[in-house]
Amino acid sequence: MRLSRWFRAAFLVLGLLPATRTARAGHFTLEEAIRRAKERSPAAVDARGALTSAEASGAGAKVSAFGNPSLEVTGQTSRATRDVNVIGSLYVPVEVSGQRGARISEWQKLVEWQGSVEARVHAEVTAATAFAYGGVLVARARLEQATRATVETRAEAEAYTARLAVGDATAYDVSVVDSEYARYRQLEVAASASLVQAVARLSELVGGEAPAELAAEPEPPALPEGLRVEEWIDRSPALRALGKESRYWSSVRERAESDRSAPLVVIATGGRGDYGEARVGGGLGWSFPVFRRNQGDIARAGAERSRTERVGVALRAALMQRARGALAAYRGLLTGIDELDRTGIPAAERAAAAVAAAQRAGKVEMIRVIIARRDLAAARARRLDLVEVAWSAYAELASIRGELP
């Protein structure tokens, strides 16, 4: 009766009953987690703010080609004159070398660059969320296995204690099963802590507390047949962001070159002469770019553009290798998981069941049961290890593509 109560409690707490699994499967999907992360994660919020700041700088880029006018009034007199000679000069700078158009072009390229940076951050957030989501699934599965083993060994330890009281078991047998219970209890504690940490990592990304119950199984999503990751490379957000940055630095260079020539100054003068007569005049002012021609800004913009182009070439080759490696690893891991499901775990389950039946018949010692049980637990743990690495490869593919494969 006590063993039955333990099993029912374990099933209720861990949500292993079929009705609970069905309700949980559609609760908090990976797609919903990614959507929240793109809105609320610190990196996504920062990227969105940078794009907003870039868009706001358009107010300065679109200012008029006419500069602020300045007024200068002077007066002079002497002993040989009857009155004060007053002259007023109005200066109006006018950009005639394409400075305004170059500023607007630079601003547009900046907005495009920051938009591509936001897309790159979204790709990184998608990958991080997928890995964290899979981490919660795997951690929960580890906890379920550890809790199930704890319940079984606790019931077994209680049974052997009762047998010892009637002389049907030895103190050695009781010590062995008590030790085995303690071992699985520690595994349960560690798995519970790992689940808490995994949920915290996912919560950090989605900007709020994430539920521990996500999907029914920790399996990573399947990939479509005939997938060609090479087709993703040129559209990769990381590579596109570098291309947009390169074009931005080209526009910075063009703006710096246009700024070499100072604005043309239109001058209008008016005043009163020595005899009170009105005087008017005008002229133009021009600054010749002889010694200072924005050499520093032009050189830096050219160097930054060269840097982004070189990084783009290197990144493209790196992304190609990463994509191929992640895809090959993912497919290999799924094959390994399938082999464990078809042969490894069923064989370990049969061995554990057979030795348990033999032990109940008094044909083998309890230590054989413990060894078989540990082998089964190790096979299941290896399966979860493969699933966890598969989630990592899946997240890698998502980061390269910019969205879930």
Residue at token pair 């072009």: 105
List pLDDT tens digits, range 27-65: 688 999 999 999 999 999 999 999 999 999 999 999 999
- Residue 78 resides in a domain: no
- Residue 94 resides in a domain: no
**Is the pLDDT confidence value at 307 over 90?**
yes
Q: What's the total number of domains in the chain?
A: 1
- Residue 266 resides in a domain: no
List pLDDT tens digits, range 130-162: 999 999 999 999 999 999 999 988 988 888 888
Among 194-203, 358-367, 372-381, 395-404, which is the least confidently predicted range?
A: 358-367
Contact in structure between 30 and 128 (CB atoms under 8 Å): no
Residue 237 belongs to a domain with what CATH number? 1.20.1600.10
- Residue 387 resides in a domain: yes
- Cα 142 to chain centroid, rounded: 25
**Is the pLDDT confidence value at 237 over 80?**
yes
List pLDDT tens digits, range 278-288: 889 999 988 88
357: tokens are 């039946």
3-state secondary structure 53-101: HHHHCHHHHCCCCECCCEEEEEEECCCCCCCCEEEEEEEEEECCCCHHH
List pLDDT tens digits, range 79-98: 777 778 888 999 999 999 89
Burial class (CB in 10 A: 0-12, 13-18, 19+), 151: buried
What separation in angstroms does the CA of 250 have from each of 53, 103, 255?
Answer: 20, 12, 9
What pLDDT is recorded for position 215? 66
What pLDDT is recorded for position 20? 32
What pLDDT is recorded for position 245? 95
Global pTM?
A: 0.83
Contact in structure between 262 and 290 (CB atoms under 8 Å): no
- Residue 101 resides in a domain: no
Domain range enclosing 206:
2-62+116-257+317-401
How far apart, in whole angstroms, are the C-alpha atoms of residue 63 and residue 65? 7
How far apart, in whole angstroms, are the C-alpha atoms of residue 311 and residue 308? 5
- Residue 231 resides in a domain: yes
